[in-house]
Amino acid sequence: MTKSIKVKNPATGQLIQEVRKNTEEEINQALKRGHESFQSWSKVNAHERARLLKNWSLKIQENKEVIAETMTLESGKPIQESLGEVDYATSYIDWYAEEAKRLYGRTIPAASETKRIMVSRQPVGLVAAITPWNFPAAMMTRKAAPALAAGCTFVVKPAEETPLTTMKLVELAYEAGIPSDVLQCVNGIGSEVGSLFTDSEFVRKITFTGSTPVGKLLIKNSADTVKHVSMELGGHAPMIIAEDADIDFAVEQTVASKFRNAGQTCICVNRVLVHESIAEEYAEKLTEKVRALKVGNGLEKDTQVGPVINEKGFEKIVSQVNDAIEKGAEVLHGNEYDANRDEGYFFVHPTVLNNVDSDMKIMQEETFGPIIPISTFKEIDEAIAIANGTPYGLAAYFFTNNYKTGTYLHEQLDFGILGWNDGAPSAAHAPFGGMKESGLGREGGSEGIDPYLETKYLSIGNL
């Protein structure tokens, strides 16, 4: 069995660095240390935890360029997006540094003069996190910051494709003064480390971002020790464009949503449903914008769409596009690839598919690639039925300037995140998460710290 993970640049296939895999014993030791340090960290006062988190955020900002370059090298993400992700990552630390000081309890009026009732909250314990390659910085801080703010200790296993960004963030946390037993990083293969996490008596909570099948497995494996679980899983976001929508704005927001990280974002629009009366104009304007996108190595400053992460991701995208074309979809732009299996790089050119229908795989499954399938509808209820007709329920978008249509869509769509005339809803101060098979729990906002806290009820009698 290999003892290291080869981290490669998805834009060239070249080796960047070999990262040593931690042994089973080392990982179990890390979990034990995390469990033991919970005793001291959970007693550190909230203002001090907030101060350390703020230091961490500052250290990351001081190293913004280096982190962004590392991220682009290992994930393929355009450098401008990596720089943006560093800001996005620290926005979670900043937010939860403040929230640490607001973990209020409450009192409840008792039904007896001799009793008092108090409710307080305390950290759940050691948290084990598994993070994905598509946002190697922000998905880590979105979990670590609320956990540390709440008083939990934290062990993270980053994705095999992108461990370097996470390792750098953890190193900076130590420089900021966060104790090395409180925040730890271990490296290894997902399934192997995942089992150590779920089997461990020391881990009280599992938090995961990644695919739905792995999320389901982690939920099942957490059952024996009844761990808390937070799951941020796959999506299949619909975008409904009503007949009264501002078409130019909808086009601009479609591009902003779809091509972020080459379409490898869990909330990227995955299927467009446009009213038949404006479909032609929308498709024409969209194709014009998509044609102008620059594909290339993410380190080049003008690149807007980088490579996809690996061959597995590439094959999934190609099979969805081919299936759609075989079943009658029209290619308005794209369906071009620059891929080399031997060298190990996979570029998918932005693609617009028209006349797409619900029988096609691309309308059923998450794509995780820069492809826009367009379908039309006549009545808004038809669009809602198609949008909701999926096991996923992460994000949905709708474009309308009619407040009645917008309110109706808000109420009818079964998704945890809705963008009404907004293709970029992510924010540290808002609750992010999915319904149905897209996940459990929320990250971000005041809700995002709750999953790291237990509620304790105290009843005092005989007063």
Ligand X SMILES: NC(=O)c1ccc[n+]([C@@H]2O[C@H](COP(=O)([O-])OP(=O)(O)OC[C@H]3O[C@@H](n4cnc5c(N)ncnc54)[C@H](O)[C@@H]3O)[C@@H](O)[C@H]2O)c1
Ligand Y SMILES: N[C@@H](CC=O)C(=O)O
Show which residues are catalytic.
232, 266
Residue keyed to tokens 């109420």: 411
- Residue 230 binds ligand Y (CB under 6 A): no
Task: Count Cβ atoms within 10 A of the Cβ of residue 404 and give its class: 0-12 exposed, 13-18 middle, 19 or more buried.
Answer: exposed
- Residue 265 binds ligand Y (CB under 6 A): yes
- Our CA angle for 350, 312, 159, nearest 5°, is 100
Name the DSSP class of 462: -
- Residue 426 binds ligand Y (CB under 6 A): yes
- Residue 194 binds ligand X (CB under 6 A): yes
Give the span between the Cα atoms of 185 and 123, in whole angstroms: 20
Residue keyed to tokens 């198609």: 386
- Closer of 125 and 190 to ligand Y (Cβ): 190
Name the DSSP class of 58: H
Give the span between the Cα atoms of 257 and 367, in whole angstroms: 14
| Pairing relationship of beta strands 435-436 and 392-393 according to DSSP bridges | antiparallel
Residue 234 CB, shortest distance to ligand Y, in Å, is: 9
- For residue 368, the partner it binds in ligand Y, ligand X, none, with Cβ less than 5 to 8 A by kind, is ligand X
- For residue 267, the partner it binds in ligand X, ligand Y, none, with Cβ less than 5 to 8 A by kind, is ligand Y
- Residue 267 binds ligand Y (CB under 6 A): yes
- Closer of 132 and 194 to ligand Y (Cβ): 132
Residue count, binding to ligand Y (CB under 6 A): 8
Residues in the chain: 463
Q: What distances in angstroms separate CA 454 from CA 138, 152, 218, 226, 377, one per listed residue?
A: 25, 11, 21, 14, 46
- Closer of 79 and 156 to ligand X (Cβ): 156
- Closer of 98 and 311 to ligand X (Cβ): 311
Residue 397 CB, shortest distance to ligand Y, in Å, is: 13
Q: Which string of x and - marks every residue 131-160 that binds ligand Y (by CB under 6 A)?
A: ---xx--x----------------------
Token couple for 451: 């999953």
- For residue 362, the partner it binds in ligand Y, ligand X, none, with Cβ less than 5 to 8 A by kind, is none
Residue 336 CB, shortest distance to ligand X, in Å, is: 20
Q: Which residues contact 336 (CB under 8 A, 6 or more apart)?
A: 349, 351
- Residue 266 binds ligand Y (CB under 6 A): yes
- Residue 114 binds ligand X (CB under 6 A): no
- Residue 348 binds ligand Y (CB under 6 A): no
Q: Which string of x and - marks every residue 220-259 that binds ligand X (by CB under 6 A)?
A: ------------xxx-------------------------
Coil/strand/helix, residue 137: coil
- Closer of 129 and 255 to ligand X (Cβ): 129
- Residue 211 binds ligand X (CB under 6 A): yes
Q: Which ranges of 343-398 does DSSP label H, i.e. alpha helix?
A: 380-388
- Residue 317 binds ligand X (CB under 6 A): no
Going by C-alpha positions, the residue among 434, 452, 430, 445 that lies closest to residue 129 is 452
- Residue 307 binds ligand X (CB under 6 A): no
What is the CB-side half-sphere exposure of residue 334 using CA atoms within 13 A?
A: 32
| Pairing relationship of beta strands 371-377 and 269-275 according to DSSP bridges | parallel
Helix axes 138-150, 163-175, angle to 10 degrees: 40
Binding site for ligand X (CB under 6 A): 130-134, 159-160, 190-191, 194, 209-211, 214, 217-218, 232-234, 266, 313, 316, 366, 368
**Interface with ligand Y (CB under 6 A):** 134-135, 138, 265-267, 426, 432
